[in-house]
Structure 1
């Protein structure tokens, strides 16, 4: 833990997915509260999306939405700081100079520890 899922609108054409994932992981590792191998990120480009109701606005507006999932038990201040760190990392690497107006959001969610199940297999 944590698990981070990023979704972004397909009109962000110059987004380097691998680099964005690395920047988010580095930012989280820099907090000093997670082990390297516990930080798991994934990213999804959404080719079908709508922002607002005006059809002509679709090309002028974009979004990046992050969901950060953590096991329960962390202090509110830690979760708040973590959300701010992820937001700053995304701001640095997801804005396009001549691109669309981009909204970036981060939602920190808590998972019930007793309902999270994990298995780790050993290399053969």
Structure 2
């Protein structure tokens, strides 16, 4: 834990690459809330999107960070802001009206299961 999932419109000027994901992982590690090897991130691009009702050039990037339950609202807000700042510094809009959002969701600690294999 945590699991970072980024969904974004494919019209962004910046591609979401493994290097970008690792930079975001570093930002999450810097919060002091997570262990390095536990941070997992992935990104999904969407070609077919509609934002609003006009044909204006718009894009979106929506980050969802799933973490084990038990952290305070203040900690979650701080983590969300760190992630939002990192995304804003990494992603270029290039003529688009770009919306970037971050959502922190709790995973029930009692029902979460995980194993390691080598």
TM over 0.5: yes
1:41-87 deviation line (CA, Å, top 9, x unaligned): 00001111111122x22xx1101000011111111111110000000
Q: Highest Rg: 1 or 2? A: 1
Whether contact under 8 Å (2:13, 2:92) holds in the other structure is: no
Check if 1:74 corresponds to 2:71. yes
Matched, 1:9 2:9: yes
Aligned counterpart, 2:86 = 89
Give unmatched runs, 5+ long, in structure 2.
Answer: none
TM-score (norm 1): 0.88
Contact 1:20-1:94 within 8 A present in 2 as well: no
Distance 1:36 1:120 in 2: 15
Q: 1:13 to 1:109 in 2, by over 3 A?
A: same
- 4+ residue stretches of structure 1 with deviation over 6 A? none
Q: Give me the TM-score of the superposition, normalised by structure 2.
A: 0.93
Instruction: Calculate the aligned-residue CA RMSD, in Å.
Output: 1.3
User: Which consecutive unaligned segments of at least 5 residues does structure 1 have?
Assistant: none
More displaced stretch, 66-75 vs 14-23: 14-23
Aligned length: 118
